[in-house]
Amino acid sequence: MVRWTEQRVIDAAPDEASVAAARRLARPGPWSETGSNDVLVWGKCQGSGKTPYQVSVDIATPAYRCSCPSRKFPCKHALALLFLWSRGEAAEVGGEAADFAQEWATQRADQAASRERRQSEQQADPVAQAKRLAERLTLMDAGIADFARWLTDLVRTGLAAARNQPYSWWDGIAARLVDAQLPGLADQVRAMGSDVHARADWADYLFLRAGRWWAITKAWSRRNELTPDEVADLRVAVGWGTASAEVRGTEALPGPWLVLGAHRSDDGRLQQQRTWLRGSDGTVVVVLDFAAQGESLATPQLAGALLDVAVARYPGSAPQRAMFTSPIAPQGLAANLGEGSSIAQALDMESAAVALSPWRDRHPVLFGGVSVCPGDPGLLRDGSGDALPIVGTSLASLLALTGGHPVDLFGELEEGRVRPLSVVVGDAVVTP
């Protein structure tokens, strides 16, 4: 079992306040009955009450459990235990797990086995599987037809009228899309209910989205004429995912993989983590991790890290979504991210990607020799004078890291803006 580093514990925290609170608890005094084995770390932490909190951490998944009332995952007690364990100050290796930790681990293992058993039973009956697929497609076809009628009404009454509608109007059509098993479209429509009031360019944005939605309805009706990659991209757009079990059985690409950068987001209902990787042959993939509120995302990988891990790809056009199919073995850190492009070249690559998959909202890009320029908004400018507005990153942090000098920078292009995820400073890849 490889102990986590202190930085990895920090990366697992939900916020800085939890880290600060955990550091105050990360001393042997409040702890008792600590221990660890190949997959679990456990202990009891004495709080203000009579009964100490029971804390368990599955470091393989990772997953966390604590009997405290906190709604944060991991809570300060789990983080404090991990800090102690990472420093070797508690949670000695060896011995049987505490009853509360073993009970939790057994329960999780039983639930996982039950899920696998249900999936196996479903896959073992091709007739029932075909029936479920036909029923779903019928439901989705009806939902797409209903959505097309709604879009027609949206255009007939005018975009200004749509902006005056209450949020419940948008949420109503989103709920119908969810019922039709089209959650991807539902999320976009639900978000538009806020965007039409929050964005200064709401009219252009709504017009663009409505056009894209209409194109999706037309593509869906002609999906039998599309290529497998085009169908896979369309499925992602409407929210019809591919089971991870199907992907795990496909051919995996070996490492090493370079971590280009990662980004976490939280829409209030679902947390998402995107990790961009590049293989030795130049293949770029993105690993997506999700967690509902109250659950913990996977520990983020460090930008610039080289990982010896096998990766299987989901169907679709490049860059494809991927998943890890073997244990991750770090192989050190890279001094750079490779050769970057100019802004004009990056926009050309984005245009080519949109031509292949018009439903995508973001595209990975590695810029070479770009400078961070202060302003409102801040700009990323290359040697040719071309510039893109910066979004989603502290401008002050970027200026402090780069000093305004040209650097190589990896980020995501989204709606004509760039979200920086990593910067090469000297001989190190850092996260702004």
Q: How many domains does the chain have?
A: 4
Point out the domain boundary residue: 114, 149, 175. Answer: 114
The predicted structure's pLDDT at residue 29? 86
193 has pLDDT over 80: yes
* CA R_g for the chain: 24
Any domain includes 29: yes
The answer as to whether 244 is a domain residue is no
Q: Supply the CATH number for residue 364's domain.
A: 2.40.50
Are both 263 and 233 inside the same structural domain? no
The DSSP call for residue 93 is: B
pLDDT grade for 409, boundaries at 50, 70 and 90: very high
| 269: in domain | yes
Per-residue confidence (pLDDT) for residue 61, from 0 to 100: 73
Mean pLDDT of 198-221: 93
Q: Give me the mean pLDDT over the 252-270 stretch.
A: 85
The CA-CA-CA angle for residues 429, 285, 426, to 5°, reads 10
pLDDT at 82: 92
Same domain, 258 and 360: no
> Is residue 10 domain-resident?
yes
137 is a domain residue: yes
> Does residue 89 carry a pLDDT above 80?
no
- Say if residue 1's pLDDT is above 70: no
Residues 280 and 353 in one domain: no
Same domain, 327 and 348: no
What pLDDT does residue 294 have?
A: 57
Pair (130, 232) in one structural domain: yes
Place of tokens 């009228």: 161
159 and 221, same domain (yes or no): yes
Domain hosting 200: range is 126-238
> Is 121 among the domain residues?
no
* Same domain assignment for residues 110 and 10: yes
What is the average pLDDT value for the chain, to the nearest integer?
88
Q: How far apart are CA 174 and CA 226, in angstroms?
A: 26
- Last residue in a domain, options 114, 144, 168: 114
DSSP letter assigned to residue 14: S
Domain end residue (candidates: 179, 214, 238): 238
State the pLDDT at residue 94: 62
Cβ–Cβ under 8 Å, residues 368 and 381 = no
Domain co-membership, 284 together with 379: no
Give helix then strand counts, H and E, for the chain: 13, 18
- On whether both 92 and 11 belong to a single domain, the answer is yes
Whether residue 243 lies inside any domain: the answer is no
326 touches 309 (CB < 8 A): yes
Dump pLDDT digits (tens) for 98-109.
888 888 888 888
Establish if 367 belongs to a structural domain. yes
Asked if residue 215 and residue 150 are part of one domain, the reply reads yes
My answer on whether 228 and 253 are in the same domain is: no
Same structural domain, 347 and 418: yes
> How many Cα atoms occupy the beta-carbon half-sphere of 260 within 13 Å?
28
Mean pLDDT of 313-337: 90
Q: Which has the higher per-residue pLDDT, 269 or 411?
A: 411
Residue 93 pLDDT: 61
pTM of the model: 0.74
